[in-house]
Amino acid sequence: MRTAMRTQRGSTLLVVMIFLLIFGIMTASAFRGSLTSAQAIGNMQWRNEAITAANDAIDRVLSSADFAIKTAQVTQDVNAAPFPLDVNGDGVTDISVSFPAVTQPDATGTPVTRAGPRCLRAEPIPAAKLDPSLPADLGCFGSSSAGSSGLGVGTAGGGVSTVTQSPSLCSNTEWSITVRAVDAVTNTRVDVVQGVGVRVPTTAIPTCD
């Protein structure tokens, strides 16, 4: 009788230990899953903060046409003093944004490594496409282009010949701007690329790909 009771107690203890082991494994798995989810949420938040900082930096670059006229100087100034972002308001810069060195093919397909805004193409604006009534177009008329406003010239046979248009003083340019936001604490690094078109004086057109 005593032997049977001892056997039952031993079996009960074994069953309890098995259940405790199962519960322990389930608890560890749940904890690991929660930790992974927390890390994923944290990584997403840090990435979103970096993207926000990068977009804010791009907006500040685009607030002036200097990036298209003084590209080298703007690149040097920004990389010397990157755009700062204080995320938590403690007075300490959390994220810095600058122009990274990016390797891209040029017009001939040759890989070129450089930093800063990249001019993709530039096209002089014909005087015929300008409107003298618009303040933005008025400054693009030169002495020669203003005289040839796109009007036709009558011919002896009663027809109209088209006046050959000379380029205006302005050109349309297209740019690709890549900035990199870096969070030194979380080691988050995000590159954001923005395309933009801007009108610049023809004499200030940079070398484009």
The domain tally of the chain equals: 1
Query: Which residue from 113, 111, 93 is spatially nearest to 101, judged by alpha carbons?
Result: 113
Mean pLDDT by 10 residues, the chain (209 residues): 55 74 76 66 84 94 91 94 89 93 81 91 88 84 50 47 66 94 91 93 81
CA 199 to chain centre: 20
Predicted local distance difference test score (pLDDT) of residue 25: 79
Give the span between the Cα atoms of 199 and 160, in whole angstroms. 32
Whether residue 51 is contained in a domain is answered as yes
Task: Specify the length of the chain in residues.
Answer: 209
The conformational region for residue 109 under phi > 0 = left, psi -120 to 50 = alpha, else beta, is left
Whether residue 209 is contained in a domain is answered as no
Whether residue 150 is contained in a domain is answered as no
Whether residue 91 is contained in a domain is answered as yes
Whether residue 184 is contained in a domain is answered as yes
Predicted local distance difference test score (pLDDT) of residue 209: 75
**Angle between helix 71-80 and helix 2-62 axes, rounded to 10 deg:** 140
Whether residue 174 is contained in a domain is answered as yes
Predicted local distance difference test score (pLDDT) of residue 31: 67
Phi–psi pair at 131, nearest 5 degrees: -115, 115
Domain that includes residue 42, residue range: 2-122+170-204
Whether residue 142 is contained in a domain is answered as no
pTM over 0.85: no
Give the span between the Cα atoms of 115 and 179, in whole angstroms. 9
Whether residue 20 is contained in a domain is answered as yes
Tokens coding 166: 């000379």
Predicted local distance difference test score (pLDDT) of residue 157: 53
Note whether 153 and 183 are within 8 A (CB): no
